[in-house]
């Protein structure tokens, strides 16, 4: 069973190690430690209607990133990979980006909403030993969850964090499949917009049928 250490535990343990105390640090051996929230529903790969006729996959995971190495560590980017995808999935905008939205959502057809302050920063943040950042990491995949993945199935994803030297630090994440959106009614399709050719132009109204036109020529 993986231990759930606090950032203060890491700082104390590393100071004791640096002072010459013999400790079996175990999970502390990695320079970059990534922990996940254990609350139910915090770590999901879920089906989601992007539009009324098309489903996509979404990822919601709450992570804490703790720096345990020597010297400063600057976040320069995140990548998240799912086991059935060749490349990384698309992360929702970095909160550090000035154009990032105040409210994050996957789709108008999905009820999940996250304030910008709840989403983990992906770049521009410098950590020193024992310091950490935490928040939701949100991603969307163009394709739905593969049909062979069952409801509630455990999925191992890979999170890679890039530092200021271009070095990649990878950790496994545990996610759970949520296909419940497939069982709910499909969202209603948007009503088509009325074209000008569909009827008379109401700006000018309609003349009475018995109107007579007089030729003044």
| Rounded alpha-carbon distances, angstroms, from residue 158 to 21, 49, 61 | 33, 24, 12
The CATH number of residue 164's host domain is 2.60.40
Distance separating alpha carbons of residues 165 and 109, to the nearest angstrom: 40
Asked if residue 14 is part of any domain, the answer here is no
Distance separating alpha carbons of residues 30 and 68, to the nearest angstrom: 7
pTM listed for this prediction = 0.74
DSSP structure string for 42-91: SEEEEEEEEETTEEEEEEEEEEEEEE-SSS-EEEE-EEEE-TT-SSPPEE
User: How does pLDDT run across 105-131, given as a tens digit for each residue?
Assistant: 999 888 889 999 999 999 999 999 999
User: How does pLDDT run across 128-159, given as a tens digit for each residue?
Assistant: 999 999 999 999 999 899 999 999 999 999 99
| Helix (H), strand (E), coil (C) string for 16-36 | HHHCCCCCCCHHHHCCEEEEE
Distance separating alpha carbons of residues 51 and 185, to the nearest angstrom: 13
**Which residues have a Cβ under 8 Å from the Cβ of 34 and sit 6 or more positions away?**
63, 64, 65, 66, 159, 161, 171, 173
Asked if residue 64 is part of any domain, the answer here is yes
Asked if residue 79 is part of any domain, the answer here is yes
Asked if residue 57 is part of any domain, the answer here is yes
Asked if residue 142 is part of any domain, the answer here is yes
The 3-state DSSP class for residue 134 equals: strand
Structurally, how many domains does the chain consist of? Answer: 1
User: Where in the sequence is the domain holding 102, given as residue range(s)?
Assistant: 31-184
């Amino acid at each position: 069973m993986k231990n759930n250490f606090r950032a203060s535990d890491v700082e104390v343990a590393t100071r004791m190690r640096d002072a010459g105390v013999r400790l079996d640090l175990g999970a502390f051996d990695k320079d970059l430690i990534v922990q996940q929230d254990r609350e139910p529903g915090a770590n999901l790969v879920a089906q989601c209607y992007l539009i009324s006729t098309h489903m996509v996959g979404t990822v919601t995971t709450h992570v804490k990133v703790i720096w345990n190495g020597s010297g400063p560590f600057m976040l320069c980017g995140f990548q998240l990979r799912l086991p059935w995808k060749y490349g990384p999935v698309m992360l929702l905008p970095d909160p550090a980006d000035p154009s990032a939205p105040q409210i994050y959502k996957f789709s108008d057809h999905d009820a999940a909403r996250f304030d910008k302050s709840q989403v983990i920063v992906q770049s521009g943040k410098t950590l020193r030993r024992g310091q950490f950042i935490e928040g939701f990491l949100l991603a969307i995949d163009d394709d739905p969850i593969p049909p062979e993945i069952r409801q509630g199935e455990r999925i191992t994803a890979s999170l890679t964090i890039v530092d200021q030297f271009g070095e990649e630090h990878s950790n496994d994440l545990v996610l759970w499949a949520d296909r419940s959106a497939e069982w709910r009614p499909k969202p209603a399709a948007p009503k088509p917009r009325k074209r000008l050719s569909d009827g008379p132009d109401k700006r000018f109204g309609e003349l009475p049928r018995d109107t007579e036109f007089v030729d003044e020529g």
